[in-house]
């Protein structure tokens, strides 16, 4: 925990005093958390510190947020850290972009089976299928 606090504080460019002010404690308390002189933090301090450092309180407590967290690659972990550093507008843009990518992925995967199985359809059924696909495309674009 102590290494995490120091790393996050430094990453955010905060001094002991600045972080202490955000949490509502003195700079010496922050220093003691980082050096391990204080190991048991009050619950309200854990919550305030987590907010100030932009991390989950569970990380400060040494808990794994996600049972698959240890399976994340270093690159995925870096992306998550970078996302946490963004302001609300930046986070919204990343989330929107990700949703668009996922929607396109779903869209592309759903079209292939439809188009691949039209050989046994009557002309009327093919026309109906084409109309459905065209309407789908028009709604998506």
d(CA 74, CA 79): 9
Residue 43 has pLDDT above 50, yes or no: yes
Confidence of residue 112 (pLDDT cuts 50, 70, 90): very low
Domains and CATH numbers, the chain: 2-70 (1.10.260.40), 86-140 (no CATH)
pLDDT tens readout for residues 67-78: 555 556 778 888
Which pTM was predicted? 0.47
Q: Per 3-state DSSP, what percentage of the chain is helix, strand, and coil (rounded to 5)?
A: 75, 0, 25
């Amino acid at each position: 925990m102590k290494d995490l606090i120091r790393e996050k504080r430094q990453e955010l460019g905060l001094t002991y005093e600045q972080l202490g002010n955000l949490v509502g404690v003195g700079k010496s308390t922050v220093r003691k958390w980082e050096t391990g002189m204080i190991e048991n933090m009050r619950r309200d301090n854990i919550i305030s510190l987590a907010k100030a450092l932009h991390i989950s309180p569970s990380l400060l407590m040494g808990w794994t947020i996600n049972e698959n967290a240890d399976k994340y690659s270093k690159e995925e972990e870096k992306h998550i850290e970078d996302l946490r550093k963004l302001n609300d507008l930046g986070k919204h843009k990343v989330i929107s972009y990700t949703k668009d990518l996922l929607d396109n992925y779903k869209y592309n995967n759903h079209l292939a089976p439809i188009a691949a199985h039209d050989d046994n359809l009557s002309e009327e059924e093919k026309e109906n299928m084409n109309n459905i696909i065209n309407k789908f495309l028009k709604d998506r674009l």
